[in-house]
Structure 1
């Protein structure tokens, strides 16, 4: 069996989608969580790299959230096997990465007034465009999955993104029952349900 070692801060953040993918297929992995000081030491050891990072059977580490998520999905059968459907999955992956970056950038702003203004614009305009697109793709498939007839990377990415937005009080489920239904469906899958129950309690 392949041995996966996932390295990140002691938080969910950008690594959580990878943890969720591994949990969905009940694949064991080493969940390495570093303190801020530990991260600094790791980065000094591997200059030019960022977290999350993944080691595979002792090879690596390899970095970048999207690259790792796609690799894990390919290895575990969580891509669609259809080029156009995989393109749809990649659309959602890229949008998720954009939203993660925006949310964490806003969280780091010290100026209260500027932060409130940016968050309001994101909540009322930017986020709504992304959520409209998620709903459009889910509606097109008509069966509760992003593509095909089973969970893929795309479904996990949507779930993780909505969880992030909800955690930061952007209320992504407001007047969007389709997104709530989809999120509940992903959370109820046995592997993810177990992970959500057992995972360490951390600030996002």
Structure 2
């Protein structure tokens, strides 16, 4: 046995060229995750899907309106979703999903892949921002105008951009040969918008193939088979 004075400073030992590292007991502690949101997919579903595809346990806490009124002051920014990690709470849906993707290995193998994933996610956010305006418009005439713009302008614009990114990748996913945060994010938003009949992926074969690739994942397929149906 020989001692090691490496940067880890964890009492390493060498046995015939092999280094044995003493790992602190707290490293083996099971992390307790909670996703706190309303009883809908909404801004929490991407994070839920990440837990599903990673096979990681978590508490899926779904609040009623009355529960939310009592819980609101306990959240970081007075909004949902919230990710709770061992009792500490964090807000902002994109930050939460990005953190989980990194923790669970769905955020690329290097910084360039991570950058590609982040740029795809931001593009999806831009698409979402353009489309969700319809949910907040009360005037039926204006709502019809917004819907027309979504179908004729925004949807073709963004689906073409997604198609181009997928063509560059050439793997059926945005980055690499397996599911990442970007694929899950696009799948989720296309499902939601398709449910409201905002769009169709006809004419965008690579986007349509990505949706199929995500849905065919065994863990996601099992989750979708029993997922509660909600309006959003």
When the two structures are superposed, what TM-score results if normalisation uses the length of structure 1? 0.93
How far apart are the structure 1 equivalents of 2:32 and 2:49? 16
Q: Which residue of 2 aligns with 1:18?
A: 47
Change (3 A) 1:110 1:186: same
CA pair 38-95 structure 1, distance change in 2 beyond 3 A? farther
Q: Which residue in 1 is equivalent to 2:59?
A: 30
Alignment partner of 1:80: what SS? coil
Which structure ranks higher in relative contact order (CA pairs < 8 Å, sequence separation ≥ 6)?
A: 1
Q: What's the counterpart of residue 45 of structure 1?
A: 74
TM-score, normalisation: structure 2: 0.82
- Deviating beyond 6 angstroms after TM superposition, the runs of 4 or more aligned structure 1 residues are none
SS in 2 for 1:200: coil
> Structure 2 CA distance, aligned partners of 1:2 and 1:194?
24
- Please state which structure has a larger fraction of its residues in helix: 1
Q: Indicate conservation of the 8 Å contact 1:14/1:65, yes or no.
A: yes
**Structure with max Cα Rg:** 2
Q: How does 1:131-146 map to 2 (within 5 A)?
A: 131-146=159-174
Report the equivalent of 1:106. Answer: 134
**How does 1:1-204 map onto structure 2 within 5 Å?**
1-46=30-75, 48-59=77-88, 61-204=89-232
Aligned residues: 203
Cα distance in structure 1, aligned partners of 2:212 and 2:124: 18
1:17 partner SS: helix
Bigger mean CA deviation after superposition, 40-49 or 110-119 = 40-49
Change (3 A) 1:47 1:4: closer
State the Cα deviation string for residues 154-193 of structure 1 (Å, max 9, x = none): 1111111211221121123122222111101101101111
Q: Where do 5+ consecutive residues of structure 1 fail to align? A: none
Note if contact 1:173-1:180 (Cα within 8 Å) is conserved in structure 2.
yes
Separation in structure 2 between the aligned mates of residue 148 and residue 175 of structure 1, nearest angstrom: 24
